[in-house]
Structure 1
Amino acid sequence: MKFKHRLNTHVQAFVELKKTERLWHFPLLAGLCVGLCLWVGWLFDRPAYGNLSSIGALVILYFTQATLSKRMVHLCVCAFGFSISFALGYAFSFSHILSAIALGLIAFLSHLITSWFDVPPPRNFFFIMIGAVATSIPFHPEAIPLNVGLVSMGAMLSVLLALFYSVFVAKRVVEPKIKSRIKKKRYTELVASFIIGFAMFLGLMIGHWLELKSAYWIPLSALAILQGKDLFHAWQRNLHRIIGTFIGIGITWVMMLSTAPSGLELVFLIAGLQFIVEMLVVRNYGLAVIFITPLTIFLAENASGLHTNVNELMEARILDTVIGSLIGVLTGWFLHHEFLIAKLEKQLRSVEILLHRK
């Protein structure tokens, strides 16, 4: 009976659509931000430029229901964080070991800072994602200003569109009441940041060790699992991500073989997928993953014109997702293991006392 009840719980969680106050305006804005960057890249026959700027445009996902001044400051700071994450990841992409260390550092700082300032969802996710993507880009020292500039311009475009949206569409904004939170111990977030940073480092190193073309998919798959608020939600997100990814890969495989979208078609397809993902992600994560999979694949392969072997691409995504999900679940177990966290906190306190004595 217990197994049947758990199975029914997981099935219901996968198909249930939660109620949300998010209107269709915001998903449309998110799709527009990404789509405009890709469209400009297509217009000037520079799809790679459009890709990089569209990554920066994802800063729109940090749009908050706060007053106009707070919202714009928040978005500008996040845009700056995007640029720093990308610059740090790209600057060390010439070395597998250094790029993995850089990603671990990005993850450590992102989690620590977003936790300290209580940044709402998606919290640390896109800062780490941008750093991970940057580590996979072929390193050319002379291209650092250009690439960082493209990401920054995409981010600032989103900030500008968010300003217009706030002034002309979302005029009436009721700032949400801040819920009282249990204040964590002094070292809790520091320990959690270290664990997440090490998991990202390990995931990328495994990807490089397996000589995967897009090694960053492994740490990103792990990171997606870690967005769960407790161990049960981490397991649930793991299950939903694997099922959703398999379905999404099947849809992507059919789309790439049957229609082979390219050029302007691909721009509208990616923008449309971004709209669907933002409509679903706050309602049902599992269903959103079905569309996140083709979105990320089309976005990643856009610059190359989708010339990659479709079957090899699908096999690689499945392998990346399975390995990353396993790392994510294991890391989630560490993060939610109270005895282990308490022990690590005690070690940190001991180190601090020794340093003060010296």
Structure 2
Amino acid sequence: MKLHHRLNTPIQSFIEIKKTERLWHFPFLAGICVGICLLIGWFFDQPAYGNLACIGSLVILYFTQAPLSQRMIHLSMCALGFSLAFALGSLFSFNHFGGAVALGVIAFLSHYITSYFDIPPPRNFFFVMVAAVATSIPFEAELIPLRVGLVTMGAMLSVLLAFFYSVFIARKVQEPKVRRKLKKKRYTSIVESLIIGFAMFLALLIGNLLDLKSAYWIPISALAILQGKDLIHTRQRNLHRIFGTFVGMGLTWLILFLEPNGLLLVLIIAVLQFIIELIIVRNYGLAVIFITPLTIFLAENSAGMTININDLMQARILDTIIGSLIGVLVGWFLHHQILVSNLEKKIRGAKLRLKRN
């Protein structure tokens, strides 16, 4: 009976729909934030600008159920973090090694800060994603201020829309429930942050050394796996990631078959964002199916629908497999208590020696 349960658990995780208190209001708000940025870019015939602003608008995903004042401060600080992450990634994108180092530093800082302040999901994920995308954009020093400004404008638009939503729609906001969790030791967060930072550095460097067109997708895939709360959950997310990407590429092919452009493309991306936020808290694997075409349209289509679907499918599947394998390997280290404890002791010992000297 136990063996039967073990065999069914991975399969059940693909079809299980979890219960959630999230209403349709928030997914709709997320779709509006993304859609407005793309719509403005389309209106001024600058789709690349709309895509960059859209990246910043993802800060809406850090919307919390805290009191209004705390919520707006939280979102504003996340918007600042998005801008800094994109700026740092852009500044070091001129060199493959430098870009990988920058991503590793951003991953370390974002994980440590989000752990220290106990920021709920998506935690460090989108800060790293923003930086990874920035490293993939061709380096043009004179355009960095413009690009960072567009990302910042998209982020602040989401903050503004979140404020109006909070005041006029979500008037009755319940106090957040106290989440019981084991209090981590101070050095544990440092060790975890170092491991994740090194993993992101390594993932992007491997992608760059292999000269992959969308190398940024490797660290993103690896980090998505590392969001698992334990080793079993990490393995489960790995299966979901790979399966969802395969099915998502099929969905991408169907959408591209329609040859969407202009307003139709804006609408499709906004609807994809709405669907993702509606189901990601219910079933991660199902959400990945829709995440795949969304990221392709945002990252690969800045200058119009000129995607070679066959080349794209091969590249994205390869990136996902490499990133997932890195995520599982690093996840083993991350959830290896003996290893983490030994690293904690070494850090404490090094700090004591520095004080004595």
**Does the Cα contact within 8 Å between 2:133 and 2:299 map onto a contact in 1?**
no
Secondary structure of 1:237's aligned partner: helix
- What amino acid sits opposite 1:206 in the alignment? I
Partner Cα distance (2:81, 2:104) in 1: 15
- What amino acid sits opposite 2:115 in the alignment? S
1:186 Cα offset (Å): 2.0
Unaligned runs of 5+ in 1: none
Residue 346 (structure 1) aligns with = 345
Partner Cα distance (1:166, 1:185) in 2: 35
**Does the Cα contact within 8 Å between 2:301 and 2:307 map onto a contact in 1?**
no
- What amino acid sits opposite 2:99 in the alignment? S
Residue 264 (structure 2) aligns with = 265
1:280 Cα offset (Å): 0.4
Partner Cα distance (2:81, 2:23) in 1: 27
1:302 Cα offset (Å): 2.5
Partner Cα distance (1:307, 1:62) in 2: 32
Q: Structure 1 segments of 4 or more deviating over 3 A?
A: 1-4
Residue 92 (structure 2) aligns with = 92
- List aligned pairs for 1:65-214, cutoff 5 A: 65-214=65-214
Partner Cα distance (2:3, 2:216) in 1: 35
Number of aligned residue pairs: give it. 357
Residue 20 (structure 2) aligns with = 20
Residue 294 (structure 1) aligns with = 293
Partner Cα distance (2:305, 2:104) in 1: 30
Partner Cα distance (2:138, 2:218) in 1: 18
1:264 Cα offset (Å): 1.4
Partner Cα distance (1:301, 1:212) in 2: 13
Any idea what the Cα deviations from partners look like across 1:315-334, whole Å, max 9, x if unmatched? 00000000000000011100
Partner Cα distance (1:13, 1:272) in 2: 25
Partner Cα distance (2:334, 2:350) in 1: 21
- List aligned pairs for 1:224-235, cutoff 5 A: 224-235=224-235
Partner Cα distance (2:318, 2:312) in 1: 10
Partner Cα distance (1:356, 1:281) in 2: 47
Secondary structure of 2:302's aligned partner: helix
1:10 equivalent to 2:10? Answer: yes
Partner Cα distance (1:5, 1:50) in 2: 48
1:3 Cα offset (Å): 5.3
1:299 Cα offset (Å): 1.4
Secondary structure of 1:304's aligned partner: coil
**Does the Cα contact within 8 Å between 2:269 and 2:297 map onto a contact in 1?**
yes
Unaligned runs of 5+ in 2: none
- What amino acid sits opposite 2:291 in the alignment? I
- What amino acid sits opposite 1:337 in the alignment? H
1:16 Cα offset (Å): 1.2
Residue 52 (structure 1) aligns with = 52
Any idea what the Cα deviations from partners look like across 1:221-270, whole Å, max 9, x if unmatched? 000001111111000000111111111111112221x2121221111000
Partner Cα distance (1:155, 1:185) in 2: 33
Partner Cα distance (1:308, 1:68) in 2: 43
1:337 equivalent to 2:356? Answer: no
- What amino acid sits opposite 1:309 in the alignment? N
Partner Cα distance (2:216, 2:3) in 1: 35
Residue 315 (structure 1) aligns with = 314
Any idea what the Cα deviations from partners look like across 1:5-55, whole Å, max 9, x if unmatched? 223111211111111111111000000000100000000010000000000
1:356 equivalent to 2:355? Answer: yes
Residue 237 (structure 1) aligns with = 237
**RMSD of Structure 2 on Structure 1 (CA):** 1.0
Partner Cα distance (1:272, 1:308) in 2: 20
Q: TM-score, normalised by structure 2?
A: 0.98
1:128 Cα offset (Å): 0.4
Partner Cα distance (2:6, 2:278) in 1: 27
Partner Cα distance (2:318, 2:3) in 1: 28
Partner Cα distance (2:185, 2:164) in 1: 40
Partner Cα distance (1:24, 1:224) in 2: 24
Q: TM-score, normalised by structure 1?
A: 0.98
1:107 Cα offset (Å): 0.1
